[in-house]
Structure 1
Amino acid sequence: MIVACEIAFWVVIVLGLFTRYVLKQKKAGLFLLALTPIVDVVLLVVTSVDLYRGATATIPHALAAVYIGVSLAFGKSMIQWADEKFQQYVTKQGTPKPKLYGMEYAKYYAKSWFRHLFSYVIGAALLAGTIYFIDDAERTASLWQVLRLWTVVLGVDLLFTASYFLFPKKDKQGTVSKKDW
């Protein structure tokens, strides 16, 4: 079901963009794009019902919580990215964003890290709530495993984020923007 929801998420986005730009139906396209949170709700309900009926939590159950957190935190930016790419490659209207270097890149990456933190808080809350609700360490071992791994990934991502402030990303000529200094 998680895979089906992931596919449904991207199908709704592609249909929304196609309707918006190719069929020139902006309101219908916006409606389709607005359906993406419903996919998250379906995923949450299906996972909850499965666990409520006594299933032992598995990695896919845990990934449902991760997916919901990521979707809520990054959903708008993922749709915006898809929108820009659709305009560039399908309608040939958009222009690529300029590449970022130096402190501009570091700040952009830091914003992304805070989104990651937000997705982590949502997903971890869902995982912790499920663990508390089931109250059976044997049935929730996979949830704990994913939560621990995600905590490590968040920490590593923070280290990468800090590194871009300490060692700013350089352009192809090996220079950093003058306004960084």
Structure 2
Amino acid sequence: MLFGLIVVCEVAFWVLLGAGLAVRYLLRRRRLGGLLLLAVPLVDLVLLVASVADLRDGGRAEFTHGLAAAYLGFTVAFGHDMVRCADVRFAHRYAGGPPPDRRRRYGRERARYEWRAWGKGMIGWAVACGLLLAGVVVVGDSDRAAALLEWAGRLTFAMVVWLVFWPLACTVFPTRAPRDAQAPHARAPHARGSHPDRVPHGTGEPK
């Protein structure tokens, strides 16, 4: 049942996000759209309350309890960015807003971007692990809470892999922009049928 609730919360997240943006930009009702967007975090609160209630019934913590904690943690870390990204794209398409930033990053800029993303991931890791440890306290038995501790180990391993293969890799081995992106733009081609060395007739220049 808890896994089904996680799926429902994920669907509700996108439904509320889409409804809020549609009301804000298509119906031009910014206040109502803002209220719908503010309701997005309530989805996470519902999942948190359901998870705690399920653990307080005296049952054994399962894989889905750890998944719920991970989902909540990384939603806290990246949910705002997802809403902001969707808002920028929706505003650009339907309200004449500025276009989203789609440029590719190289070198130090790419490394800074990866470090910022990993830092947000660490916020999600901290929130998720805090919820997992709180679940262990709620269960009150390390044996019945073993699944929660296993999830803390999985998330820690995932963050170490992310650190090594993205931020550190981009710092030690910085990516370089393609040569065509570094070189100045080529000279615009001449009009069809013209030649840069051809002298037009009637200019008085020697043939």
Q: Provide TM-score, normalisation by structure 2.
A: 0.78
Aligned to 2:79: 75
Q: CA deviation at 1:66?
A: 1.0
Does structure 1 retain, via aligned residues, the 8 Å contact 2:107–2:175? yes
Distance 2:34 2:112 in 1: 30
CA separation of 1:77/1:111 partners in 2, compared to 1, >3 Å: closer, same or farther?
same
Q: Percent same amino acid at aligned positions?
A: 33
Higher helix fraction: Structure 1 or Structure 2?
1
Q: Does 1:130 align with 2:107?
A: no
Structure 2: stretches of 5+ with no match in the other structure = 183-207
User: Greater RCO between the two (CA within 8 Å, min separation 6)?
Assistant: 1
Q: Does 1:154 align with 2:151?
A: no
Q: CA deviation at 1:11?
A: 0.9
Does structure 1 retain, via aligned residues, the 8 Å contact 2:65–2:148? yes
Aligned to 1:170: 176
Q: CA deviation at 1:94?
A: 4.2
Q: Does 1:26 align with 2:62?
A: no
Q: CA deviation at 1:174?
A: 7.9
**C-alpha RMSD of matched pairs (Å):** 1.9
Instruction: State the one-letter code of the partner of 1:171.
Output: A
Instruction: State the one-letter code of the partner of 1:128.
Output: L
65-74 or 80-89: bigger deviation: 80-89
CA separation of 1:174/1:139 partners in 2, compared to 1, >3 Å: closer, same or farther?
farther
Q: CA deviation at 1:122?
A: 0.8
Q: CA deviation at 1:154?
A: 0.5
Asked which structure has the greater CA Rg, the reply is 2
